[in-house]
Structure 1
Amino acid sequence: MSLKFSVGDLTIHRIIEQETTFMPALEMLPELTGALLAENKPWMQKAGAIDDSDVLILCFQSYIVETPHHTILVDSCIGNDKPRPLRPKWNMKTDDSYMRALAAAGFSLNDIDFVMCTHLHVDHVGWNTRLEGGRWVPTFPNARYLFGKHEFDYWTEQNGKAPVPPFVDSVLPVVEANKAEIVRNDYAIGDHVRILPTPGHTPGHIAFTFGRGKDDAVMSGDLMHTPLQTYYPELSAKFDIDPAQAATTRRSFLERYCDTDTLCCTAHFPSPSAGKIRRRGNGFSCEAVAAG
C-alpha cells in the first residue's frame, strides 16, 4: 500500500502509528441508533471502518506535506513513554512503529521545518516531544511548532484547574524550549499553507489548507473521526466538547469541499484515509483516492 499522494505541487505522506479497533460505534457516536448502524454496516465493513463486533476501526497518523519551500508535519500522533492509563494501547508505549514509518517515508527528525497541530488532544501531540535523559525535549529539533491561540489558551486554562497530561508533557516543553509559535487564524506560511477555523471538537480546533492560490489539500483533523460522519454529519463523537457546534462545522466543511478537487486528508479514517468529498443524498461521502 502506497502512503504517498501527489496533488498540485505538493507531496503528502502518511505516517501511521496505529490502525486498530478503538471503541464501539454506539458508544463513540451517542446519537447513532442500532438500526442506522445496521443499515450502514455493510459498506463500513467493506471500507475497513468497523469490525464484526461493531467496534470502529481508526487510524492514528501524522501527515507530512512537502511544499516547494517547506516540509511540514501535521498532528504528531500518540508518542512513546507517555502515561495514558485510560488508553492501554497508548500507555507507556515503547515501540518503534512511528520512527520506522518516518524513515520509510524518507525523513529524519532534522528534516521537519514546521509541526502543526489541528488541536491539542492526546493523540495529536504525542510525538511533539520525546524522553531524553529523563526530560521531555522537542522531537524535531529544527522545527517551529505552531499552536492555534484559541486552542492553546483553552488548554492553558484547563491545565490551570487540574493537570492535563498531554499538555504538560507534549506541549509545554516545546514552549519552554522556545520552539513554539502561538498563532491566530489569519496565520499563513508563504503562499501554500493557511488555517481554516473548525471549532466544535475543541473550542480552537483548526484545519489546515495547502496549495498555491487554492486548496489542493486540506487536513481535517478531528472534525470527523469515521466515514459514517460524512454520510450523517449530525452524528457527533462523544469527545466533542460542543457536539452541536461540531455538527454545524462538519456540514459546513463538507459543503465547502463537496464536488471539488481538494484532497481531504482525514486524521482517523481507515486506510487510505484521504479522498474527495462528494454529495450523497442529504449527506456526503469521502471517495477514496489511490495513493501513489
Structure 2
Amino acid sequence: MAELTVEQDRDQGVRLRRPAGIRSIRLGDTKVSYVPDGDVRLRPLSVLPGTTAEVWAAHPEYLDATGHLVGSVGALLVEHGDRALLIDAGFGPQTHEAPDGPIAVIHGGALADGLAALGRRPEDIEAVAFTHLHADHLGWACHPAPGGDQPVFAHAEYLISEPEWERRDLLEDQGMGEQVAALAPRVRTVADGQEIFPGVRVRITAGHTVGHAEYVIAGGGRRLIAFGDAMHSPIQVDHPDWSSAFDHDQARTADHRHRLVAELAEPDTIGFGVHFADVVFGRVRREGEGPAWRSVDA
C-alpha cells in the first residue's frame, strides 16, 4: 500500500479534532449517510481507563484545545430506492454537562435539519434500528416533535435486538423508565442474522451492552459494518485492548474488538463509527507495527 502523504496525515489530524458533518458514501444501489445530531467532549483518561497521560501526550491529534476527546453524536441513514432506514437516533434536543467522569459535555438537537438537508422528512423513515439502548442513541425516538406531543418518528417501527430489549429493566434501574415507556409501543425485536432492510443484517455483539447490535450493510460488492459503540475512538483500532468506561463487559468487548479490527482490514470492507469525530467512515490499514483507521469519503 502506498504511504499517506504529509497533507493527508495533516487532514486526518484536523478531522480528529472536530465532530462530523453530513457525509455520504454509496454501496451500489444503497446510499448511507451520517446524519449529525450534535457532539460530545470526553475526558480521555476517564473514558478509556486503560490509557495514561503519556499516551495522550504522544497523540495530541485526538484532543481538542481543552484536552478533550472529540466525538460525534448522530445517526446513520440508509436509503435504498424510495425506502429509508435510520440506525440510532442521536441524543435529542438536550445538553448534559458533568464536572467529572467520562463525559464533559454532550448535546444534540440537529438531526431533523440533517435529514432535511439529505432530502428526507422524519415520516419517510420506515424503521429506526438501534445498536443499543443508551441515551445518546435513543435521542429523538423518545422526544416528541417540536411543538407537538407525538414522537418524531411516529410512522416508524423501533427495531431492537431481542437480548437488549429483554433486559430493559437495566435501563429502568438507571432511571430511564420514561424512555422505556416511550419506546415500548413501537418496538419490534430482531434476531442475530436477520435481514431488516434490503442488504442490511443484524449482528448481535454483546459486550458494550447485554444485547449490543451491529448492522452489516452490503451492496455494490462492498460491505459496511456499523459497529455502534464497539469502539468510541479511532485510537482503539490501534489498541483494541482499551475498553471504554461505558462497556458493560470490558473483557468481552475487548475480545470482540480484536476480531472487529481484523474484519475491518479485509478487502472491500468499510466501518462506520458513530462517535469517530469527523472520520466516521473508514477502513483499517496495516501501517508500521499495527492497524490504523483511515477515513473514507466515497
Q: TM-score range by the shorter chain?
A: 0.7 to 0.9
Judge which range, 53-62 or 31-40, deviates more.
31-40
Judge which range, 107-116 or 66-75, deviates more.
66-75
Match of 1:157 in 2: 169
Match of 1:3 in 2: 23
Judge which range, 3-12 or 262-271, deviates more.
3-12
* In 1, Cα distance between equivalents of 2:111 and 2:220: 32
Match of 1:271 in 2: 278
Judge which range, 242-251 or 186-195, deviates more.
186-195
- Normalising by structure 2, report the TM-score: 0.82
Match of 2:39 in 1: 19
Match of 2:292 in 1: 285
Whether contact under 8 Å (1:64, 1:71) holds in the other structure is yes
Match of 1:203 in 2: 210
Counterpart code for 1:76: A
SS of 1:138's equivalent? coil
Matches within 5 A, 1:169-208: 169-176=178-185, 179-189=186-196, 191-208=198-215
Offset, 1:220:
0.9
Counterpart code for 2:181: L
* In 2, Cα distance between equivalents of 1:124 and 1:134: 22
* In 1, Cα distance between equivalents of 2:146 and 2:244: 38
- Match among 94, 116, 125 for residue 112 of structure 1: 125
Match of 2:77 in 1: 64
1:43-92: CA deviation from partner (whole Å, max 9, x where unpaired): xx2xxx3113431000001010112463110010101269x67578557x
Whether contact under 8 Å (1:220, 1:265) holds in the other structure is yes
Whether contact under 8 Å (2:24, 2:297) holds in the other structure is no
* In 1, Cα distance between equivalents of 2:94 and 2:68: 27
* In 1, Cα distance between equivalents of 2:288 and 2:203: 26
Q: Give the aligned CA root-mean-square deviation in angstroms.
A: 2.7
SS of 1:145's equivalent? strand
Whether contact under 8 Å (1:158, 1:164) holds in the other structure is no
Offset, 1:142:
2.1
Matches within 5 A, 1:143-154: 143-154=156-167
Whether contact under 8 Å (2:242, 2:254) holds in the other structure is yes
Offset, 1:188:
1.2
- CA gap 1:108/1:33 in 2 versus in 1, 3 angstroms: same
Whether contact under 8 Å (2:43, 2:104) holds in the other structure is no
Match of 1:251 in 2: 258
Offset, 1:213:
9.2
Offset, 1:126:
0.9
1:139-159: CA deviation from partner (whole Å, max 9, x where unpaired): 2122111011111112x2324
Offset, 1:192:
0.7
Identity of aligned residues (%): 27
* In 2, Cα distance between equivalents of 1:273 and 1:5: 11
* In 1, Cα distance between equivalents of 2:197 and 2:26: 19
Whether contact under 8 Å (1:223, 1:246) holds in the other structure is yes
Offset, 1:111:
0.6
How many residue pairs are counted as aligned between the two chains? Answer: 274
Work out whether 1:236 is the aligned partner of 2:243. yes
SS of 1:221's equivalent? coil
* In 1, Cα distance between equivalents of 2:145 and 2:22: 32
Matches within 5 A, 1:96-135: 97-131=110-144
- Normalising by structure 1, report the TM-score: 0.84
Structure 2: unaligned runs, 5 residues or longer: 1-20
SS of 2:78's equivalent? strand
- CA gap 1:199/1:136 in 2 versus in 1, 3 angstroms: farther
